[in-house]
Chains A and B, each alone.
Chain A
Amino acid sequence: MTKPERGRSLLRFASPQHFYPLAGRLAPWFAAIAILLTAIGLWLGFFVAPTDATQGQVYRVIFIHVPAAWMSMFIYLVMAFWSAVGLVMNTRLSFVMSQALAPTGAMFCFVALWTGALWGKPTWGAYWVWDARLTSQLLLLFLYFGFIALTRAIEDPRRADRAGAIIALVGAVNVPIIYFSVQWWNTLHQGASVSLTKAPSMAATMLTGMLVMAFASWAYTLAVVFWRVRPMILERERHTEWVAAELERAGASSQAAGGRA
């Protein structure tokens, strides 16, 4: 192994032993960023952004609906990416990453559907319609549930990893379908207000509030996924010496906290 020094120092974090403490150190920072950005985003969304000319105040659901919908699609793509890396490179940490992401992705997917229903009733006149956008987003929720159920149901971790990775990769096809559904077919759901190809069709303060909330949900996802992946790594690596040492430390500190030391 004669690799350049810089490459080795970055690749170091691909090993569970080095990634575990890094995740533990980073998570609180991302949590703090998430809290700060959420506070700013909510202030912009509720106190700076004006009411909408057509929809009135109810449009303020957008400050969670759109970030949650973006996040639900993005997290699934990241899961598919780690699954592909895992299948190709045979790196087990990649599979663990995709499994740590799934519950948060499912949560955002459910939030997008729920807030969409509560927004649809007063604006469209219906909580739910079977148009292409809503149906494909519901399919995404079922893909998340399927992934979580399958990876937890299979006892052998190697087989669970592979089965989950296949669902993640197959299901990733649904993400561009969700995104482009409003362009490809006539849908009740309106088109994108923010996209890479045209200027956003939103007032500046509304847009800023929405983007700040989107960054807040990124930071939240990083924090909660880093927290979730740590015990998963301990479990996978339980036969190693470093986990033994880590458990001694964790066990001692939890006893100290319980006043039994």
Chain B
Amino acid sequence: MKARSKRLMLVGGGVALLVAAVALVLSAFQQNLVFFHTPTEIAEGKAPTGKTFRVGGMVEEGSIAREPDGVTVRFAITDTAKVIPVTYKGTLPDLFKEGKGAVVQGKLENGVFRATEVLAKHDENYMPPEAAHAVEQAQKAATTLSQ
């Protein structure tokens, strides 16, 4: 029984040490584990400048506009606090819509984000179209009432 509890302590201690080590490594590499930065982080200067990185947030309502050339798209990514204007040439994913989440990859040049890749980020809500429509109506009603 004594040998058994000794082994239990060894195994338990080993696992505890390992968890601590992993926690340390993860907190050290926190920056690299982040898939995208928010517009607020960029405004605070936390995003890398001069190299490619990703910005994530919501596509601002009414911001999508096509350039006359037909391929360039302009829109804005917002986290409701700050806004980043984006330009992009290429095809957009089906789920890319105003008011929905998106992650864009590219470089920041003179305050405008030149995107080379656009990904749509959907949320964890799954509902039938009728329910989504009802939610939308309710939200509209709420905003009209509050105005």
- Which positions in A face B, CB cutoff 8 Å? 50-55, 59, 62, 84, 87-90, 122-126, 129-132, 169-170, 172-173, 177, 184-188, 190-193, 201-203, 206
Q: List 14 A-B contacts (CB under 8 A).
A: A52-B126, A52-B127, A62-B126, A84-B11, A122-B93, A122-B94, A132-B35, A173-B22, A184-B33, A188-B121, A190-B124, A191-B124, A201-B123, A202-B127
Q: CB-CB < 8 A to A203: which residues of B?
A: 126-128, 131
Asked if residues A88 and B35 are in contact (CB atoms below 8 Å), the reply is: no
CA distance A130 to B53 in the complex (A): 13
CA distance A166 to B94 in the complex (A): 45
CA distance A186 to B47 in the complex (A): 13
Residue of B nearest to A126 (CB): B119
Interface status of B112 (Cβ within 8 A of chain A): no
Q: CB-CB < 8 A to B30: which residues of A?
A: 185
Residue of B nearest to A206 (CB): B126
CA distance A131 to B125 in the complex (A): 20
Asked if residues A52 and B128 are in contact (CB atoms below 8 Å), the reply is: yes
Pick from A59, A89, A129, A185: contact of B4, CB under 8 Å:
A89
Q: In the assembled complex, how far is the CB of residue A114 from the closest CB belonging to chain B, in whole angstroms?
A: 19
Asked if residues B124 and A193 are in contact (CB atoms below 8 Å), the reply is: yes
CA distance A191 to B125 in the complex (A): 9
Main secondary structure of the interface of B (DSSP, over half): mixed
Asked if residues B119 and A124 are in contact (CB atoms below 8 Å), the reply is: yes
- Which positions in B face A, CB cutoff 8 Å? 4, 7-8, 11, 14-15, 18-19, 22, 26, 30, 33-38, 56, 92-96, 100, 103, 117-133
CA distance A29 to B133 in the complex (A): 44
Asked if residues A132 and B132 are in contact (CB atoms below 8 Å), the reply is: no
Q: In the assembled complex, how far is the CB of residue A16 from the closest CB belonging to chain B, in whole angstroms?
A: 20
**Most chain B CB atoms below 10 A, which of A59, A125, A203:** A125
Q: Which 9 A-B pairs have the closest CB atoms?
A: A125-B93, A53-B132, A50-B128, A131-B35, A193-B124, A202-B126, A53-B129, A190-B124, A201-B125
Known: A52-B128, A53-B128. Contact between A191 and B123, CB under 8 A? Answer: yes
Known: A173-B19, A203-B126. Contact between A186 and B35, CB under 8 A? Answer: yes
Q: CB-CB < 8 A to A122: which residues of B?
A: 93-94
Known: A132-B33, A188-B35. Contact between A87 and B125, CB under 8 A? Answer: no
Asked if residues A88 and B7 are in contact (CB atoms below 8 Å), the reply is: yes
Asked if residues A125 and B118 are in contact (CB atoms below 8 Å), the reply is: yes
Asked if residues A124 and B121 are in contact (CB atoms below 8 Å), the reply is: yes
Q: CB-CB < 8 A to A130: which residues of B?
A: 35
**Most chain A CB atoms below 10 A, which of B129, B130, B131:** B129
